[in-house]
Amino acid sequence: MPLSEHEQRMLEQIESALYAEDPKFAHAVRSTNPQVHYKRRIVKAALGFVVGVCALMAGLVINEGTVTIAISVTGFLLMVVCCVWALTSWKRMTGIGNEPARGRGRREGGRRDGGGRQARPAKAGFMERMEERWRRRTEGD
């Protein structure tokens, strides 16, 4: 949501006051790119994934019984956690997934159909549209 003119002016005043009080801090904050943080997290997750693969392989090579299973399971879990960590960081870095989902959930203030359920949104999937048509035919609408 864009800022109003009043909010933009206030933000500019706060920014100029910050530059006047502490120019070093203001320059450091302004030059910091938030994507660098997410890239660093992706690199750490990749390294953790490699460590997990090594632990999994080490668990397969060692013939000590339950120790083998524990090391292998730990390596696998580390791999899964690192994949999820990298994926969430990548999504935040690129902005994917921040858009509101269309065609899902309930519409506010929408009309209800005869069964008391909320009516489907306009951009429903193919199967949902076919089910809605079938329901209307069988009910005689």
Q: What is the 3-state secondary structure (H, E, C) of 33-73?
A: CHHHHHHHHHHHHHHHHHHHHHHHHHHHHCCCCHHHHHHHH
Query: Residue 1: what pLDDT?
Result: 63
Domain count, the chain: 1
Look-up of token digits 């359920």: 117
| Residue 49 to residue 78: CA distance in whole angstroms | 7
3-state SS assignment for residue 26: helix
| Residues 82-129 pLDDT 10s | 999 999 999 888 877 666 555 544 444 444 455 555 555 556 688 888
Answer yes or no: is 103 within a domain: no
Residue 6 lies in a domain: no
What integer pLDDT is reported at residue 123 of this predicted model?
Answer: 60
Q: For residue 98, what are its two tokens? A: 């921040």
Which residue, among 28, 26, 31, 32, has the nearest Cα to 12 in the 3D structure? 26
In a domain, 124, yes or no: no
**Beta bridge pairs of residue 70:** none
Residue 65: inside a domain: yes
Please give the residue that has the higher pLDDT: either 98 or 79: 79
In the beta sheet, which residues pair with residue 118? 112
Is residue 67 in a domain?
yes
Residue 77 covered by a domain? yes
